[in-house]
Amino acid sequence: MSGLVKPLPALYVVYVLRSTVRPGSIYIGSTPNPPRRLKQHNGEAKGGAVRTSRDTLRPWEMIVLVSGFPSSTAALKFEWALNNPHLTLHIPKEERITVATQRKRNGMPRRKPHSLKSVIPNVHLLTSVSSFSRWPLNVHFFSQDAHKVWKDWSETRETAVATSPTILTDFGPSAGDASTTPWGIHALALDYSPMKEYIEKAHNVTSFERQGQCIHCSKEMQPEQGLYAMCPNDGCEAMGHIDCWSKHALAGDEPGAIIPTSCKCPACSGEIRWGDMMKELSLRTRGTKEVEKLLRKKKRAKKDS
Ligand SMILES: [Zn+2]
Ligand SMILES: [Zn+2]
């Protein structure tokens, strides 16, 4: 039940953890708060996984993150599949990279230990299979060698461009750069602040009941009588019935698709990621508290670049 009333999470990631002491030791987990979770793995905060508690492997670093999951359950599914690439039904048998070579005592197939060369290709594979490719996923690289494995692997694969995840890299300040600007997992927004302007414009339109007519069917949208989604693009206030948006988006999608991935806004012609629009809508309809908190925060002065 709580799954129905909670808004979509601000951030929830699946991460690849690597020992800085023994780079062959790799661990996969998930969290809404990567900096806090890393502290736990490194023994600087309470609560961490037993497997990462050995002093000989600490400190750990997070080298790859996958974000953009529509729910924490979705992230947990992905985490499980990435931890069990030899078992998951999300990967068709003939496409598996990791296969079981042995069996455990209980008869379950055992996989080889994770390595960069198995985990990265499996992230690539999982973000492209139909169960996960429809989500607006991002893959963040904080280590150059992990990114290189990804690039080398990608070159050997035919990729369906339409469903590729967004790739983000941040390798930190270069040697000799004394800047103290946060980078990597410390530069991630853990709240809804990256969506603030979008949330604010939709909030203003609906609280002043300025919905007007549906951008698709031109019918009047009565306040509080339906789910009205708004275009996320800067300066565009195109709003419409969720069903109308969905029909519009699916018309341009592959046949048989049930959940849209993206569409073009009929008002501003900008590209819309379906997941972004649903995140705002879920927050507006189920996250009153979160919205109030976000809009109460003083606008930070924008830094001149
Ligand atoms: Zn409509
Ligand atoms: Zn628009």
CA of 242 to the centre of ligand 1 (A): 8
Give residue-wise pLDDT tens across range 54-108.
888 999 999 999 999 888 899 999 999 999 887 777 777 777 777 776 777 777 7
CA of 163 to the centre of ligand 1 (A): 27
Q: Which ligand is nearest to the CA of 245?
A: 1
Confidence of residue 3 (pLDDT cuts 50, 70, 90): very low
pLDDT score at 1: 38
Q: What percent of the chain has pLDDT over 90?
A: 55
Question: Counting Cβ atoms within 10 Å, is residue 224 exposed (0-12), middle (13-18) or buried (19+)?
Answer: exposed
Give residue-wise pLDDT tens across range 148-171.
999 998 888 765 544 678 899 999
CA of 300 to the centre of ligand 2 (A): 26
Complete domains list, the chain, with CATH:
2-187 (no CATH), 195-295 (3.30.40.10)
CA of 225 to the centre of ligand 1 (A): 12
Q: Which ligand is nearest to the CA of 276?
A: 2
CA of 193 to the centre of ligand 2 (A): 20
CB-based neighbours (< 5 A) of ligand 1, an ion: 214, 216-217, 241, 244
CA of 46 to the centre of ligand 2 (A): 46
More confident: 236 or 162: 236
CA of 83 to the centre of ligand 2 (A): 39
Is 60 exceeded by the pLDDT of residue 126?
A: yes
CA of 70 to the centre of ligand 1 (A): 24
Confidence of residue 299 (pLDDT cuts 50, 70, 90): low
The pLDDT mean for the chain works out to 87
Give residue-wise pLDDT tens across range 176-214.
887 788 999 999 999 999 999 999 999 999 999 999 999
How far apart, in whole angstroms, are the C-alpha atoms of residue 145 and residue 106?
36
CA of 17 to the centre of ligand 1 (A): 46
CA of 225 to the centre of ligand 2 (A): 22
Q: Which range among 69-73, 238-242, 267-271 shows the weakest confidence by mean pLDDT?
A: 69-73
CB-based neighbours (< 5 A) of ligand 2, an ion: 231, 233, 236, 238, 265, 267-268
CA of 288 to the centre of ligand 1 (A): 24
Answer yes or no: are the C-beta atoms of 264 and 272 closer than 8 Å.
yes
Q: Which ligand is nearest to the CA of 230?
A: 2
pLDDT score at 275: 86
The pTM of the whole model exceeds 0.75: yes
How far apart, in whole angstroms, are the C-alpha atoms of residue 293 and residue 302?
20
Q: Which range among 68-82, 216-230, 250-264 shows the weakest confidence by mean pLDDT?
A: 250-264
DSSP state of 51: G
pLDDT score at 254: 75
pLDDT score at 77: 93
What's the CA angle centered on 195, arms 192 and 199, to 5 degrees? 100
More confident: 111 or 60: 60
Answer yes or no: are the C-beta atoms of 91 and 35 closer than 8 Å.
no
Residue for token digits 């069903």? 243
Is 70 exceeded by the pLDDT of residue 302?
A: no
Largest Cα span, the chain: 65
Dihedral sign for Cα 189, 190, 191, 192, please: positive
